[in-house]
Each structure stands twice: as structure tokens, then as C-alpha cells.
Amino acid sequence: MSRIGNSIINIPEGVTLEVNKNLITAKGKLGELSQKFDGVSFNITDTEASVKRNSESKDHKSKHGLYRSLLNNMVIGVSEGFVKELELVGVGYRANSSGQKLDLSLGFSHTIVMSLPSEIKVETINEKGQNPIIKLSSIDKQLLGHIAAKIRSFRKPEPYKGKGVKYVGEQIRRKAGKQA
């Protein structure tokens, strides 16, 4: 029994859901998202939606909770959107954005220039005395997480001094240095 799959999705005002064969589309004030599906069916009313699996096969049971979570993320994305913030910890670590290009200086001999998809909005916050922050926002949670993980992978936080790119609020597990 899937507890996540059986949960009901509340649909806020201004969001509409449409099902065409094996494609579900969510439209809202921030945009439109689509997702292919199979093995499940959707019961949609004006204010709530639920996901039912077509059979009790192992494949359909495994997809039940997955498609419920994907649909819930689509509804939240088109109504509110998602935001991820990354913090650059280290001396001389900088970030600048211009349009859809993100320019990172992470202690390498060269700067890293990353072009971002058009669905993602980027903003860099550079305040004197504070670590630079990269603020990413999008309606697609999956793409946003992928891009944030890609940026973090350029310089993961190391356990001794905590230098690197980390999510805001992330706790870095620290290790003791050499014992004298």
C-alpha cells in the first residue's frame, strides 16, 4: 500500500490539470508543465486530484507514489515555484550572473562559465563581509535540483575547513585536523 500514492493533492485557484491519453499537463500563473505517465489514472475535480493505479502488479505499485509526487511538484511549481540557494564558502570565491550565464570563480586557475536553461532564473547576491549566494528559481523542481547539483559538483564542500559550494542551511560534517 502506497501511503504517498493514496494522498490527495490540493489544487490551488488558478491551476488547471488536463489529461490526454498518457500525458498530464498543469497550467498556472507561472507557466505550464507536462509529464508522461503509464500504469496509473487520475481523478481530477476542481479543488483536488488523486492517483489510482490500474492494477496490483509490482510495476504499477512502484509508479503509484512516483506519479503522485511528480503531479504534486507540477501543481506547486506552476502556482508558487521553487527556489534553491547555494552559498560559496572560501576566500576569493565569487559568482556573477548576466542573463542566462553564470560566471563562477572557485579557486581554479580559470573561471567556470555555465549557461543555464531558459526555464531557470538566476540571481547572485554579493554583500561585503558575507559569502556570495547564488539564488536559482524555476517552476520545474527536477530541473532546478539537477542544475543546483551540477553547480555544487564544481567544488564540493570539504570536511576540514568547509570550503566549497554548499546549499544554504546545509550542515557540513567536519573532521578534526592533524593531532599534534
User: DSSP secondary structure string, 93-154?
Assistant: -EEEEETTEEEEE-SSSS-EEEEPPTT-EEEEE--TTS--EEEEEES-HHHHHHHHHHHHHT
**Stated pTM of the model:** 0.90
Which residues are CB-contacts of 137 (< 8 A; sequence separation ≥ 6)? Answer: 81, 82, 83, 84, 120, 121, 123, 144
Give the pLDDT confidence score for residue 5 in this predicted structure: 86
| Contact by Cβ (8 Å): 165, 105 | no
Query: Which residues, including other chains, have CB under 8 Å from residue 113's CB and lie 6 or more apart?
Result: 101, 102, 103, 104
Question: Above 60 in pLDDT, residue 1?
Answer: no
pLDDT digits (tens, 9 = 90+) for 118-177: 999 999 999 999 999 999 999 999 999 999 999 999 999 999 998 999 999 999 999 998
Q: How many distinct structural domains can be found in the chain?
A: 2
- The domain of 117 spans 82-167
CATH number at residue 87: 3.90.930.12
**Mean pLDDT, rounded, of the chain:** 92
Say which residues have a Cβ less than 8 Å from residue 59's Cβ, sequence separation at least 6: 39
pLDDT at 171: 92
pLDDT digits (tens, 9 = 90+) for 6-22: 899 999 999 999 999 89
What is the per-residue pLDDT for 24?
A: 93
Q: Are 144 and 135 in contact (CB under 8 A)?
A: no
Contacts of 77 (CB under 8 A, 6+ apart): 26, 28, 30, 31, 33, 138, 139, 140, 141
Q: Which residue, of 20, 54, 79, is where some domain finishes?
A: 79
Let me know whether 91 and 33 are in one domain. no
The pLDDT assigned to 96 comes to 94
Q: Do residue 125 and residue 75 come from a single domain? A: no
Predicted local distance difference test score (pLDDT) of residue 71: 94
Boundary residue ending a domain (52, 79, 106): 79
Mean pLDDT, rounded, for 32-59: 91
Q: Which among 3-7, 62-66, 79-83 has the top mean pLDDT?
A: 79-83
- On the question of pLDDT at 2 being above 70, the answer is no
**Same domain (yes/no): 60, 106:** no
Mean predicted confidence (pLDDT) in 83-91:
94
